[in-house]
Amino acid sequence: MSKKTEKSTLKETDECEAQSKLETLADVGESSGQPEHASSRDLDARVLELETENRKLRETLEAMHESRDRYVNLFDFAPAGYLTMDERGIIREINLTAAGMLARQRPSLIGLPFVRFVAKADQKTFLKHLSQSRNERRSLTMELRLVGKGGWHLPVEMHTSSARDDRHCLFYRAVLTDTSERLLVRTALDQSRRQLEQKASERTAALLENRLLEAEVAERKRLEAELRQRMQELADADRHKDEFMAMLAHELRNPLAAIVNATELMRRKPEGHADLHDWACRVIKDQTAHLARLLDDLLDVARVTQGKIVLENKTLDLRSVVSQAIETNRAMIDDRRHHLKVRVPPEPVWVYGDGTRCVQIIGNLIHNAAKFTDVEGQIEVVVEIERDEAIVRVRDNGTGISPDLLPRIFEPFTQEDRSLARSRGGLGIGLSLVKKLVELHNGKVEVFSEGPDRGSEFVIRLPTATAPSSALEQRETNSGSPAGDHAGQYVLVVDDNASSADSLSTLLQAYGYRVQVVYDGKVALDLIKERVPDVVLLDIGMPQMDGYEVALRMRDDPRLARTRLIAVSGYGQEEDRQRSRKAGFDHHLVKPVDIDILLDLLGSPSS
């Protein structure tokens, strides 16, 4: 009979005996009818109840001990090694499996730093792994080698997570998995792969010697070339995403810098500069519109990709849609003094679609043409009908599109300018969004270009419809505030982004600083030969000569020994800050700059 069955039988026997005693006491009490017998009977009954409860408590305690023993066995004899460490990496608990991996008795390991049992070459990586687990508060995995008593190395995979105990003290949980067999399997697989490659090479040589199998060899080469192309496409897509994330931060920080400067100017209200109110309003309006376009494009690409775009279709006059798209980009067209030519038919051109999205489609193409067409360039927008299709053509004589980029122009994150300067800006998603939205309207979009500096033409084709149209309305509002005055030093602002540079200059001038602005690093180097500034606010990402190179050349000039160099950039990663320090910058500020911090730096003594 098992121990569990025996305990169950004893339990039932005890319960029966207790019940029998209680019944006997009840019978005696009823027969006697005397008070002292009743009191004695109640006392005996209470004693029996307490004995029953005591027995149940013992059974519960035994069950807890059995559960603990099962847990201890599971913990100690699990196939993986388990241990806990305090915040300094000292071993607090460790199971037998993990102790066996270290080839030591468990008691001798408690209180020792785990790093002592890590191979020297892996110790720095291990400590960094613990730090990362503590900072990121998530489970992390790494591969390392443990050192046994004889100096042998055991490869393991370590899963670590950090937590806090009841006293809010940090500790680590770690799981160790022996990967030696996995490495052996991997080595065997590599050897098998090499053998297969060798056999394949020999087979290929034999096939080449046989003229009858030349077609098979050609097919194999074609498949290999296709596979390489697919792999290259995947690698390019992954690289484009990484570049996109970096460029997104850069593209958002430039307009934010101008907005923050204009806002600070309006908030602080420098006296005697009331005319700056309208200027600050224009800066905020223009840069906010730019930010809205970027964010809208990002959200729309995500929605389209996930199939969450819902079109509110109705019958539209395409002429009205084109007119609204042009007005959306009017400020940029006028600012760059483009010659815009619009040709639309005299009668309505009916299409069935979402008015907002149609304006967005054509507006993106016009914005693209304006961005990639030089000052005083030509832009033409044409609306026409061919059979049952409504056609919109957007032409320009701008930078054009290179032949290798043309087939990929509608792919997400595709851009031609990948330099640090990012002089054209953009995220590489606008045309991808255009293509997806056009396809949602059962249309198609095409692109034509004869090459760099030969301009480009985008053609949208949409099905025609017959019905009355509805107009879209837009409204703009303006607001603002005055400015004040402050005494200061001679500051040189160097930034290729005119809005950011001008807004920062205007803000500093409102506080009494003598400010000069240049939009090119080489011009700044020529300017300091004539006059040495007290402070240089220098952008990093500029065309022709970036901010790092400008800073290095300024530090080589002994006349600028007391001039402070402050990096004001959209690039704010730790590696960017380290690089700016090596280039000789005294400080590194990330756009949009906190004006209070900047004013404190300008007011501090020279380095």
**Does residue 467 surpass a pLDDT of 50?**
yes
Contact 547, 540 (CB under 8 A): yes
For residue range 178-206, list pLDDT tens digits in order: 888 888 888 888 888 899 888 888 887 77
For residue range 42-51, list pLDDT tens digits in order: 888 888 888 8
**Does residue 281 surpass a pLDDT of 90?**
no
Q: At what angle do helices 574-583 and 547-555 cross, to 10 degrees?
A: 30
pLDDT of residue 383: 94
Mean pLDDT score, 466-485: 40
3-state SS assignment for residue 220: helix
**Does residue 11 surpass a pLDDT of 80?**
no
What confidence category does residue 602 fall into, taking pLDDT thresholds of 50, 70 and 90?
A: confident
What confidence category does residue 255 fall into, taking pLDDT thresholds of 50, 70 and 90?
A: confident
pLDDT of residue 482: 32
pLDDT of residue 351: 93
For residue range 497-512, list pLDDT tens digits in order: 888 888 888 888 888 8
Mean pLDDT score, 536-546: 90
Percent of the chain exceeding pLDDT 90 equals 29
Contact 320, 469 (CB under 8 A): yes
pLDDT of residue 115: 93
Mean pLDDT score, 432-459: 90
Mean pLDDT score, 158-184: 89
For residue range 396-420, list pLDDT tens digits in order: 998 888 888 888 888 766 665 544 4
Mean pLDDT score, 281-304: 72
Mean pLDDT score, 312-321: 91
**Burial letters 350-366, b for 16+ CB under 10 A, else e:** bbbbbbebbbbbbbbbb
Q: Which residue has the higher pLDDT, 409 or 71?
A: 409
For residue range 260-279, list pLDDT tens digits in order: 888 887 777 666 666 677 77
**Does residue 475 surpass a pLDDT of 50?**
no
pLDDT of residue 428: 65
- Work out the mean pLDDT of the chain and round it to a whole number: 80
**Does residue 155 surpass a pLDDT of 70?**
yes
**Does residue 208 surpass a pLDDT of 50?**
yes
CB atoms within 10 A of CB 545: 16
Q: Which residue has the higher pLDDT, 599 or 592?
A: 599
Helices (H) and strands (E) in the chain, counts: 17, 17
Please state, in angstroms and rounded to a whole number, the distance separating the CA atoms of residues 397 and 457: 9
pLDDT of residue 75: 62
**Does residue 382 surpass a pLDDT of 80?**
yes
For residue range 85-103, list pLDDT tens digits in order: 999 999 999 988 888 888 8
pLDDT of residue 183: 84
**DSSP per-residue codes, 315-359:** EEEHHHHHHHHHHHTHHHHHHTT-EEEEE--SS--EEEEEHHHHH
Mean pLDDT score, 298-304: 68
Place of tokens 């030591």: 104
3-state SS assignment for residue 307: coil
Q: Which residue has the higher pLDDT, 549 or 594?
A: 549
For residue range 223-251, list pLDDT tens digits in order: 899 999 988 888 877 776 666 666 666 66
**Does residue 140 surpass a pLDDT of 50?**
yes
The answer to which of 104-113, 188-197, 270-279, 591-600 has the lowest mean pLDDT is: 270-279
- DSSP classification of residue 440: H
Contact 208, 220 (CB under 8 A): no
3-state SS assignment for residue 606: coil
The answer to which of 119-123, 215-219, 533-537, 544-548 has the lowest mean pLDDT is: 215-219
What confidence category does residue 283 fall into, taking pLDDT thresholds of 50, 70 and 90?
A: confident
pLDDT of residue 260: 82
Phi-psi region of 156 (alpha: psi -120 to 50; beta: other; left: phi over 0): beta
The answer to which of 123-132, 179-188, 468-477 has the lowest mean pLDDT is: 468-477
**Does residue 20 surpass a pLDDT of 70?**
no
Q: Degrees (nearest 5) of the Cα angle 481, 486, 491?
A: 105
3-state SS assignment for residue 37: helix
Among residues 297, 273, 362, 350, which one has the least CA distance to residue 323? 362
**Does residue 307 surpass a pLDDT of 80?**
no
Number of residues that make up the chain: 607
pLDDT of residue 316: 92
**Does residue 219 surpass a pLDDT of 50?**
yes
User: Is the overall model pTM greater than 0.75, yes or no?
Assistant: no
**Does residue 472 surpass a pLDDT of 50?**
no
Contact 82, 98 (CB under 8 A): yes
**Does residue 5 surpass a pLDDT of 70?**
no
Q: Which residue has the higher pLDDT, 510 or 492?
A: 492
3-state SS assignment for residue 566: strand
